[in-house]
Amino acid sequence: MAADISKMKALAKQTYNALSTEFPDSTCSLDYDCPQNLAIRGILSAQCTDKRVNITASDLFAKYPDMDKIASEDPEVIASIIKPCGLTASKTRSVMTFARKMTEEWNGTVPNDVDLLMEVPGIGRKIANLIVGEIYGTPAVVVDTHCKRVMKRIGITDSSDPAKVEKDIMKFFPEEQWISIGHLSVDLGRKYCTAKSPKCDECPLKSFCKRRI
């Protein structure tokens, strides 16, 4: 067992080194200038591209720069703004719930607490981890569709369940890499390790990726 763990940690190190060399400027693909704006963008990102989220969220914040303004607005007005991101009804409810918690329960501060953040409908563990990791530097792993796919193909995990993938990443990668490995996985998934027709011949991990060898 110890030998297996050592082998997996070696694979994780090889993976991280290759990815950080290929993507030295890897960072969160959602724009934000304050914690609450990142949280709102995270809510809007479900089944929507980051590009669309960034555009739509910018429109929202231009009209409503403060959370109390969003919390007190007519839901139909908020819905009309965020409609381009899809899932309008559920996202409107989530955005307004988050805004109310910011103004009524959290004293205007986004909590550095995954469980508290997950009290907001629309903020699951992935987005909660993103928030505490990006804003507070709290070690956390963001497992999105790219991360699940590439980690399984590389051989870091044998599961497609986000919770299991998260645990495997936490087991094999050092804590200080948890935040960045999520961003690096997204970069790899978008450029090379796509869901369909991955560019294995061009991939920087081709010499050791489980799917390749």
**Domains within the chain, CATH numbers bracketed:** 2-27+142-191 (1.10.1670.10), 35-136 (1.10.340.30)
Cβ atoms of 36 and 102 within 8 Å: the answer is: yes
pLDDT value at 1 more than 50: no
Is residue 193 scored above 60 in pLDDT? yes
pLDDT of res. 211? 85
Cβ–Cβ < 8 Å for 108, 33: no
Query: Which pLDDT band holds residue 20 (cuts at 50, 70, 90)?
Result: very high
Residue 81 pLDDT exceeds 60: yes
Per-residue confidence (pLDDT) for residue 2, from 0 to 100: 54
pLDDT: is 2 or 195 the higher one? 195
Residue 138 sits at the vertex; the CA angle it makes with 102 and 100, to the nearest 5 degrees, is 10
Task: For residues 44-55, give the mean pLDDT.
Answer: 95
Residue 213 confidence (pLDDT):
66
Q: For residue 3, is pLDDT > 70? A: no
pLDDT band at 63 (very low <50, low <70, confident <90, very high): very high
* pLDDT score recorded for residue 164: 97
Give backbone dihedrals phi and psi of 209, rounded to 5 degrees, phi first. -65, 135
80-to-50, 85, 138, 168 alpha-carbon distances in Å:
19, 10, 34, 40
Token pair listed for 123? 């903020």
Q: Is the pLDDT reported for residue 123 higher than 70?
A: yes
How does the average pLDDT of the chain come out, rounded? 95
What is the pLDDT averaged over residues 162-170? 97
pLDDT band at 72 (very low <50, low <70, confident <90, very high): very high
User: How confident is the model at residue 89, as a pLDDT?
Assistant: 97
Q: Give the span between the Cα atoms of 153 and 63, in whole angstroms.
A: 43
Phi, psi of 76 (to 5 degrees): -65, -30
Average pLDDT over residues 50-60: 96
Angle between helices 178-191 and 145-154 (to 10 degrees): 90
pLDDT of amino acid 212: 75
